[in-house]
Amino acid sequence: MKLSLFFLAFLFTMAALNFYIYKRFFKRLHKPFNQYAFLIPSVLMLGESLFVFEAVTKALIPTASLYYLLASSIGITFLLFVISVVYDLNLSIFKRVPYQENRRKFIKILFDTTMLILAFSYLFKGLKGGLSKPILNTINVNIKDFSSSDYIIIQLSDVHVGRTLQKPFVQDLVQRTNDENPDIVVLTGDLIDHDIDQIKEDLEPLKNISAPTYFILGNHEYFHGAKKIIEHIKTLGIIVLLNENLLIKDTKATYNLIGFTDIIGERIGQYPMDVDKAYKGIDKSLPSIVLAHQPKSILRLKKYPCDLMLSGHTHGGQIFPFGLLVMVDQPYLAGLYQHKKNQQIFVSRGAGYWGPPIRVLAPSEISKILIKSSS
């Protein structure tokens, strides 16, 4: 019932956005640009309706290209909505400026042409950003009394293995991860975005990660059967942390590693986040590195040590300027932040994407955390 209401709300939102795009952008363009004003929003709405139909019924052919096409319609609608708002605001200003009729007509044609070029450039940049390989983002972090000055953690977050991000993508991530010779690798949630039974082969390359690897749940794991996912992740030689902590002690460093389940577990009634359980028995004299999928998890650690939290979830907004909406729900969007005097948090933009294969001003990343001692 809740899922049906969500999809109905989604379709209503898409219909409203496409109507705005038609009414306030395409229909107001100068001829001949406006002759087929209804066509693009109509095609986009059809794609979005089929996307929802496929998500609910699984009745369409489950190919990567079909999913890519349908998901792209959502992203294109978002991008065109942004362009439409910019067009609407600028046209309102333009109408207030007194011009002779001939000059006004010329300026309107020039303005419309410029906005169409801007729209296509925005779309191209978004699609190119979604298809680009994740960048390697190196982050220098100082932790007081950390016992190493060249400790490397590779963080892979929000990979979203599923319909379009498959085995070749995972293989590339693993190869590039191993090239950095990390001390540990952490997978901070939303690794899975499909039925685990259909993507087991896509996950096989994870067995080849050369460093000890730790995994925590993200919200998307709950959507696709968290229990089965946990069981399979363990078969890949990856340690799953479910509100647990480990003492990491190797030749380079000694510290607490704490891993939480996701906040959404409380709402779903499965694997709820439990801070007290996760911190049980830790050595408070040692530095503590925390893995939590959603950045707002740090707000729950009021009485517990957290020298560094590694999170994801936000995708850095994925499509600018929608990161502003993300920050309504999350305290941090992307990058390294000083939360409190002795608490830092790094939020990864993620290696993959969710929904539309589009990214604008929020490039996907492999996060290389280089920890140094500040003592």
Residue 363: predicted pLDDT = 95
pLDDT of 4 > 70? The answer is no
Query: Please, which residues have CB within 8 angstroms of residue 295's CB and are 6 or more apart in sequence?
Result: 309, 311, 313, 314, 330, 331, 332, 345, 347
pLDDT of 356 > 60? The answer is yes
Per residue in 158-186, pLDDT (tens digit) is: 999 998 899 999 999 999 999 999 999 99
Mean pLDDT of 208-214: 97
pLDDT of 27 > 90? The answer is no
Note the pTM of the prediction, 2 decimals: 0.90
User: Which of residues 37 and 279 earns the better pLDDT score?
Assistant: 279
Q: What are the C-alpha distances in Å from 294 to residues 33, 263, 266, 320, 352? A: 44, 7, 13, 20, 16
Residue 101: predicted pLDDT = 64
User: Which of residues 23 and 103 earns the better pLDDT score?
Assistant: 23
**Cβ count near 249 (within 10 Å):** 11
Per residue in 38-56, pLDDT (tens digit) is: 888 999 999 989 888 877 7
Domains of the chain and any CATH numbers:
2-131 (no CATH), 135-373 (3.60.21.10)
314-344 burial, b for 16+ CB within 10 Å, e for fewer? Answer: bbbbbbbebbeebeeebebbbeebebeeebb
Residue 301: predicted pLDDT = 94
CA–CA dist 45, 11 (Å, integer)? 8
User: Which of residues 101 and 359 earns the better pLDDT score?
Assistant: 359
pLDDT above 70 covers a percentage of the chain that reads 95
Residue 69 burial class via C-beta count within 10 angstroms: exposed 0-12, middle 13-18, buried 19 and up? middle
Per residue in 229-242, pLDDT (tens digit) is: 999 999 999 999 99
